[in-house]
Amino acid sequence: MKKEVKIGLTGIASLIILFFGINYLKGINMFKPESYYYVEFTNVNGLAQSSPVFANGFKIGIVRDIQYNYDKPGHVVVGMEIDQNMRIPAGSKAELVTEMLGTVKMNLLLDYTSSGFFAPGDTIAGAANEGILGAAEKDLLPQIQKMLPKLDSIMGSLNRLLSDPALTNTLHNAERITASLDATSKRLNRLMNEDIPSFTTNAVQITENLETISNSLKNIDYASTFIKIDSTLQNVQMLTAKLNRKDNTLGLLMNDSSLYKNLNATSANAASLLKDLKEHPKRYVHFSLFGKKDK
């Protein structure tokens, strides 16, 4: 008999521990005195039991019960347990906030200007704060819906553009241009690394040679050189004057036309003599093997 009692007590203790453990995991402290309040909403936005209740960002309680108010259709009453030491000023409100991950939490907006306080069991006015997701759903989604036909048209135009053979040719041309630019860049690098330094070296050498020539030109006696040139020009002028006069041999050769006429006549006589010699050679040459005949 004692054995069965021990088993029963053990089972009861296990159930009690399980009950308190589940409530502890839900955030319910069974040993902490709490006050019960009600909040009335028109839309709870997916609020769940055991959801935390915050005031000024600090957790002060949890949601214990959610019931539809059949006496006031369209309203939902949420029961929440608040720390007994927490006094809610009259005029405060509760709001539901939808977070980024879709979870819903309740915030109490305390009215510190009020001199009175809600009593446990009172009903607090509630409202839904759409938050970022709600604002996005309200403002952004209609704009997106308006843009969908335009996006569809843009996608159609983009598909036609991508299927156009001209785009493929353009890409091929761009590839060839890129290859040409790469080759040009390599040539430019070679020019900058090899040809330009060589050209610079040659320019330096030319500059040095010009400097040497300039130094040499500085050492030339231009006065005596111009005097010699002037003397040479005078001699050439005297020679030219003598060639133009007939009182010397060269002047006669250059200016006497009778010499040209005599030379021309001599040449004509020589040509006539040669012609006659070719035509009548016997007039000028007599030759016989047996000697001259007697007359």
- Tokens 């330096």 belong to residue: 204
Instruction: Enumerate the β-bridge partners of residue 169.
Output: none
Specify the pLDDT at position 142. Answer: 74
The domain spans of the chain are 1-31, 32-129, 168-220, 221-263
Specify the pLDDT at position 289. Answer: 46
Q: Give every residue of the chain whose pLDDT is below 50, as ranges.
A: 30-33, 289-290, 295
pLDDT digits (tens, 9 = 90+) for 107-126: 999 988 888 899 888 889 88
Amino acid found at 179: A
Phi, psi of 95 (to 5 degrees): -130, 150
pLDDT digits (tens, 9 = 90+) for 21-70: 665 555 555 444 468 899 998 888 788 888 889 988 888 888 888 999 88
Specify the pLDDT at position 5. Answer: 67
Q: How far apart are CA 7 and CA 9, in angstroms?
A: 6
Specify the pLDDT at position 134. Answer: 58
Q: How far apart are CA 214 and CA 24, in angstroms?
A: 106
Specify the pLDDT at position 163. Answer: 80
* Residue 137 CA: distances (Å) to CA of 45, 132, 145, 209: 13, 8, 11, 84
C-beta pairs of 212-217 under 8 Å, 24+ apart in sequence = none
Q: How far apart are CA 91 and CA 79, in angstroms?
A: 18
Encoded tokens for 287: 């030759």
- Which is it for the CA torsion 60, 65, 69, 71, positive or negative? negative
What is the reported pTM? 0.38
Rounded to 5°, the CA angle 47-51-53 comes to 105
